[in-house]
């Protein structure tokens, strides 16, 4: 049986606490080495809590939480001097735990649902509390904790507000949490909360009546929250709320309608990039939140310039948008080159293909991008197999870095930060990013500094060909 892993940041000193939800650590002289907790299976104890400093000797099990069963710890989030996560104990209950990286310091925070499991998820820090969604005997609700059983409480009475379900995204804008919640009266709409019962309210019903707008892709750019939502005609468009107005507003222009179906919302500096379906098919757009500042970046699929959508030209379908050092990288498809790696600075002239990795019109399908210093790594397929590639943003600097298999077959590889429950940050140890990669010893823990020579196995945790981690999200 395969046992899957979720890795999260664990910095060993206060100087390194930027890890999970920001850039990983700075700090002064004499700092302790960076460490990260994660879930792995050694093939004997099931999926349990482990820790690594990027060395074989420094990679070890922290605690067996579930005995002979899988604890499956996940959702690791740094808060205060501990790392909070969800895990299953040996009785089968899935509850809220925390760890300081030691066995003695790994404890159950609270049995939130004494009758069953509470399944805590969607952790986010706001102010002096960690917020999350969980289910107690009253149903699903928003909770907060300061790290003790006594401070782990419901934010609001869901029944009193009529809330029956909370969607899978929490996002913080200043001192306000935003999330989708369902009521019988309004369906699933955007709600906000300041962390109190009285300060929790429906922002506004985008789909009036019992229809649902289903807000998704909640993304912060400066002091604005962008998201995708449906109106009463089931038209899915780009919406926003900001610090000046908590009422959702449709972001549109003459070309981008309220049925543009925006996807892959990605913040780059003070701009929002996204893929949307406009008059030229599904292409790359950018917005500053105003109609005048929302525009098509480039009609990538039209080799001769701008042209309207036709049956043979449905768009370039930008996907897997990723911000690296102030530049947007993404995959896009053209008739001449297939699906390849592109980059954009928000202008048509600055939106170019980085390199055609697969020959002719074959697809390299670049994906699972992550940053290591000034370089960006990603998985792509040349004419032979899926492998790990590296780029500095130039064609010459885009090179095959490593294939992890013996016979040059497809390599499963992903930044372990990406398969955390939510953050997706690149997790660093001594200048190298941690990976889950499928090599000759199964899917195991690797690290890379962005070079072939500096890409090495950290430890074969499940010795032999068995997998200790997973290489997919």
The residue-averaged pLDDT of 79-83 equals 91
pLDDT at 349 over 70: yes
The b-or-e profile of 243-271 (16+ CB within 10 A means b, else e) is eeebebbebbbeebbbbbbbbbbbbbeeb
Query: How far is it, in rounded angstroms, from Cα 448 to Cα 417?
Result: 13
pLDDT for 377-394, tens place per residue? 999 999 999 999 999 999
Give the model's pLDDT for residue 423.
65
- End-to-end CA, the chain: 18
Q: Where are the domains of the chain?
A: 120-459
Q: Which CATH number fits domain 120-459: 1.10.8, 2.140.10, 3.10.590, 1.20.120?
A: 2.140.10
The residue assigned the tokens 């046992």 is 3
Query: How far is it, in rounded angstroms, from Cα 122 to Cα 328?
Result: 26
pLDDT for 154-195, tens place per residue? 999 999 999 999 987 899 999 999 999 999 999 999 999 999
The residue-averaged pLDDT of 69-98 equals 94
Query: How far is it, in rounded angstroms, from Cα 389 to Cα 387?
Result: 6
Looking at residue 180, the DSSP 8-state letter turns out to be E
Residues 6+ apart with CB under 8 A from 54: 33, 34, 429, 430, 432, 434, 447, 458
Question: What's the pTM value of the predicted model, to 2 decimals?
Answer: 0.89
Torsion, CA 342, CA 344, CA 347, CA 348, rounded to 10: 0
Torsion, CA 21, CA 10, CA 96, CA 462, rounded to 10: 120
pLDDT at 91 over 50: yes
Query: How far is it, in rounded angstroms, from Cα 185 to Cα 163?
Result: 9
Query: How far is it, in rounded angstroms, from Cα 127 to Cα 114?
Result: 28
Handedness of CA 364, 267, 35, 375 (dihedral sign): positive
pLDDT for 213-254, tens place per residue? 999 999 999 999 999 999 888 888 999 999 778 889 999 876
Burial of 463 (C-beta count, 10 Å sphere; 0-12/13-18/19+): middle
143 touches 153 (CB < 8 A): yes
Burial of 196 (C-beta count, 10 Å sphere; 0-12/13-18/19+): exposed
Average pLDDT over the chain reads 87
Provide the CB-side half-sphere exposure for 362 (13 A, CA): 11
């Amino acid at each position: 049986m395969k046992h899957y892993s979720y890795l999260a940041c664990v910095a060993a000193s206060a100087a390194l606490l930027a890890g999970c939800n920001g850039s990983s650590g700075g700090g002064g002289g004499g700092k302790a080495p960076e460490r990260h907790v994660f879930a792995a299976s050694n093939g004997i104890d099931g999926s349990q809590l482990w820790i690594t400093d990027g060395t074989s000797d420094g990679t070890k099990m922290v605690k067996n939480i579930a005995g002979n069963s899988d604890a499956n710890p996940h959702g690791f989030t740094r808060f205060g001097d501990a790392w909070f996560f969800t895990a299953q104990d040996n009785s089968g209950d899935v509850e809220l735990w925390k760890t300081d990286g030691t066995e003695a310091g790994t404890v159950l925070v609270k049995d939130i649902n004494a009758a069953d499991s509470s399944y805590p998820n969607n952790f986010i820090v706001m102010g002096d509390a960690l917020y999350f969604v969980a289910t107690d005997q009253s149903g699903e609700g928003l909770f907060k904790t300061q790290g003790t059983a006594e401070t782990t409480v419901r934010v609001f009475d869901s029944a009193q507000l009529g809330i029956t379900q909370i969607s899978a995204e929490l996002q913080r804008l200043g001192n306000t949490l935003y999330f989708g919640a369902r009521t019988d009266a309004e369906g699933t709409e955007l709600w906000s909360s300041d962390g109190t019962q009285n300060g929790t309210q429906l922002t506004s019903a985008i789909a009036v009546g019992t229809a649902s707008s289903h807000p998704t892709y909640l993304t912060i750019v400066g002091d604005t929250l962008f998201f995708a939502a449906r109106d009463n005609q089931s038209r899915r468009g780009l919406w926003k709320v900001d610090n000046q107005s908590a009422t959702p507003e449709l972001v549109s222009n003459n070309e981008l309608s309220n049925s543009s179906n925006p996807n892959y919302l990605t913040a780059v500096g003070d701009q929002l990039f996204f893929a949307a379906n406009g008059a030229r098919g599904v292409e790359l757009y950018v917005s500053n939140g105003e109609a005048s500042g929302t525009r098509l970046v480039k009609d990538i699929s039209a080799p001769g310039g701008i042209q309207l959508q036709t049956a043979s030209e449905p768009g370039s379908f930008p996907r897997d948008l990723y911000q690296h050092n102030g530049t947007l990288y993404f995959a896009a498809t053209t008739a001449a080159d297939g699906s390849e790696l592109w980059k954009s600075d928000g202008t048509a002239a600055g939106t170019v293909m980085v390199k055609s990795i697969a020959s002719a019109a074959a697809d390299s399908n670049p994906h699972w991008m992550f940053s290591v210093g000034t370089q960006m790594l990603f998985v792509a397929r040349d004419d032979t197999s899926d492998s790990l590639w590296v780029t500095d943003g130039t064609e010459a600097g885009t090179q095959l870095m490593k294939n992890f298999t013996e016979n040059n077959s497809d390599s499963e590889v992903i930044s372990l930060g990406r398969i955390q429950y939510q953050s997706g940050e690149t997790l660093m140890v001594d200048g190298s990013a941690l990976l889950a990669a499928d090599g000759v010893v199964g899917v195991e823990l690797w690290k890379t500094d962005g070079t072939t020579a500096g890409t090495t196995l950290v430890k074969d945790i499940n010795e032999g060909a068995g997998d200790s981690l997973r290489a997919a999200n």
